[in-house]
Structure 1
Amino acid sequence: MKKRLRWLAAAGIVLALAGCSANDSGGGSSEMPMSADGKAAPNQGAPDQGGPNKDSTGSAAGKPGQEKAPVPAGQPGITDRKLVRTASLELTSPNVADTVSQVRVITQGVGGYTGQESTQEKRATVNVVVPSERLDGVLDQLGKLGKQTRREVTATDVTEQMVDVDSRLATQKASVERIRALLAKATSVSEIASVESELTSREAELESLQKRRESLAGSVAMSTISLQVKAEAVVAAEEESRSGFLGGLTGGWDAFLTFGGGLLTVIGAMAPFLLVFGIPAVALVWWLRKRRRPLAPATATASDLPSAPPLD
């Protein structure tokens, strides 16, 4: 009987050990599958280890310093600058009237026009307005009409002003539309009057901005040339008058007049201060000197006494 119990106990222990070994082998195989060569296979469900600095191909992204800086919105480039160009040109010509006539022909040929004009026998002044893109070509053509003595071109950048006006125009248009919507919803007379007053004010501001925008656009599109034409005889006489004794005398007289004008300007500027502060100061000094002046003592001298009669 004891032998049977021993055999049963041994058989139970063997079965228990066999079950534990089977469970261990099944758990290990589920956690880490093995490949055919006996090595652990990679986890198929693991996420990509590329990280945020990799692109779609898996390669590393460029360094931050190598990225192109974005262009700020609303900032025009060099080619989009808005320039107001003006020029001045001086010519000498044997015939002033013919030169002015040729100036009109050249101006009309490029789609421009002449503005203020003053023509005399020996000199003329003409304001020429031409498209900005034709300015350089027109200056070259005008310079060939006579002897060019001076040529000057200036350019003013109004890009920021244009951008500012366009932004304010968009904002003002939206504001006017909102006020019009409120006017459509107004019911009482007081509300209608108040909204209409505000609408009138904002529409006036909108029209002012539109006029300014048109003025800037016109200045950018068209350029003005201040042209002066002198006769050759006049130029020769002016050059002769600036040399020799008479030229020196004229220059000295002009310098004297300039100095005298400046001196009179300074005196005129100081006159109010002299009147306001100078007269009271002089009066105060006179009063102080009079007050401090000592009184002379009334003492008789020997010469002032009467002389005694001689003794017999």
Structure 2
Amino acid sequence: MSGMRRKKIVFGFIVLVFVISLAGCGLGVSRSVEVLGEASSDTPARLPAGPMPTIVLDERMAKAWNSAAPGEAAQGASEALAKSPAAPVPVGSAPLSVPRYDRKIIKSAEMTLQVTNTDVAIDQLTGIAADYDGYIVSSRAWSDGTYRMATVTISVPMDNFEQVLRRLRGMAIKVLDERADGQDVTEQYVDLESRLRNLEATQTRIRAFLDQAVTVEEALEVNRQLSDIEGQIEEVKGKMNYIKERAAYSTITVQLQPERPTPTPSPTPTLPAWKPVETFNEASSALTVLLRFFGDVVIWLAVIVLPFLIPLALIVWALIAWSKRRAQNKRERSQSQ
């Protein structure tokens, strides 16, 4: 009996892999339809005129398709379609509308403003953010010794993005620089939604297999697959929440610079007139100073160095005379011999 249950579990896993493959194919087809709908949003498509069969899908058909096994899905959907009491929709009477998703755009801007007073401008910027249900993300102020500057980043609701930019331009003396951009993340969000639906459907089927597990090994294997799917679901939900929050609020970074006074232009220097008499007088004065300096040097040498120099000169002269006399005596002895 346990062998039969094990075979059922294995067969169930094979069916699950087949269903996941079909779901992946369905995701590709749905993305193609979405792209086609976006491309033709301006001119809605119409079906060709003429008698065509009327098809109406309701909840019973969807439930029959989701709850049935792969081999029985088509038959269950056909039975739900046959029992549906919905009235037929005439073909060609109205344009075929393709569902559109809300655009999710992450907006941001950077501005450099010249203001009269930096501290006052920071208070005004904080008030503007509060008026439009925004808040301060970061703020930094510094001074270069003379002027005070600041950088403030605010976050405001996406619907108030343009109004806040206009208010910021109005509080400045001059807008020195401004840049705004937007990133469309609608396609990423739609892909995450489709992936989340497929993962949640797979999670439901794996839980059904967990209830049918007989041995501990089977339960552990199914539980491992279930934990993996649940981890992927949490990851997708986290990415979707991040995109929602980033698209709901826009960031604006504002650099505040004080007004600097215009520098006064300095006059062009003119060459002085040539005055040879003054030049001669300056040269004569310099020569007098130079001669006076050398005279002072000679006087200092005569007074300080000469008393020590005379005895030293006498000693040197005596040594030289003694050495000459000795050399002469040696010469006379050699000649007498």
The TM-score with structure 1 as length reference comes to 0.51
1:51-92, CA deviations, whole angstroms, 9 ceiling, x for partnerless residues?
A: x9589xxxxxxxx9x9876344x554xxx3221111111111
Aligned residue number for residue 8 of structure 1: none
Inter-partner Cα distance in structure 2 for 1:53 and 1:182? 48
Task: Report the 3-state secondary structure (helix = DSSP H, G, I; strand = E; otherwise coil) of the residue aligned with 1:120.
Answer: strand
| Alignment correspondent of 1:210 | 237
C-alpha separation between the residues in 1 aligned to 2:177 and 2:156? 19
The equivalent residue for 2:255 is 228
Whole-Å Cα distance in 2 between the matches of residues 149 and 87 of structure 1?
A: 14
- Note the C-alpha offset of 1:95: 1.2
Offset at 1:125? 0.8
Distance 2:111 2:50 in 1: 62
- CA distance, structure 2, for counterparts of residue 54 and residue 201 of structure 1: 50
* Aligned match of 1:146: 172
- Count the aligned residue pairs: 173
- Pick aligned residue for 1:103 from 125, 143, 148: 125
Tell me the secondary structure at the aligned position of residue 113 of structure 2. strand
Distance 1:110 1:71 in 2: 36
1:105 positional shift: 1.4
| Paired residue type of 1:146 | A
Q: Is it true that 1:193 corresponds to 2:217 in the alignment?
A: no
Corresponding residue to 1:170 among 171, 174, 197: 197
Q: Per the alignment, in what secondary structure is the counterpart of residue 122 of structure 2?
A: helix
For 1:132, the equivalent position in structure 2 comes to 158
- Aligned mates of 1:216, 1:53 — CA distance in 2: 45
- Counterpart CA distance in 2 for 1:219 and 1:163 is 15
Aligned residue among 115, 123, 134 for 1:93: 115
TM-score (norm 2): 0.47
Is 1:117 the counterpart of 2:139? The answer is: yes
Q: Which runs of 5+ in 1 are unaligned?
A: 1-51, 56-63, 241-312
Structure 1 position 115, deviation (Å): 0.8
Q: CA deviation at 1:158?
A: 1.3
Matched ranges for 1:1-312 at <5 A: 53=50, 70-72=96-98, 75-76=100-101, 80-121=102-143, 122-147=148-173, 148-233=175-260
Q: Which amino acid aligns with 2:160?
A: R
Measured in 1, the distance between the counterparts of 2:50 and 2:238 equals 52
In structure 2, what is the Cα distance between the partners aligned to 1:54 and 1:214? 46
Once the two structures are TM-superposed, the CA of residue 100 in structure 1 deviates from its matched residue by 0.8
C-alpha distance 156-68 of structure 1, shift in aligned 2 (>3 A): farther
List alignment gaps of at least 5 residues for structure 2: 1-48, 53-90, 266-337
Q: Please state whether the residue corresponding to 1:233 is helix, strand or coil.
A: coil
Distance in 1 between residues matched to 2:176 and 2:219, nearest whole Å: 66
The code of the aligned residue for 2:247 comes to V
Separation in 2 of the partners of 1:94 and 1:166? 49
Q: Which amino acid aligns with 1:111?
A: D
Following the alignment from structure 1 to structure 2, what is the Cα–Cα distance between the partners of residues 151 and 210? 35
1:102-143 Cα deviation digits (max 9, x unpaired): 111111221111112211232111111000000111111112
- Give the aligned CA root-mean-square deviation in angstroms: 2.7
CA distance in 2, matches of 1:93, 1:54: 71
2:214 aligns to what SS in structure 1?
A: coil
Shift of residue 159 of structure 1?
1.4
Distance 1:93 1:140 in 2: 15
Runs of 4 or more above 4 Å deviation: 52-55, 66-69
Percent identical: 27
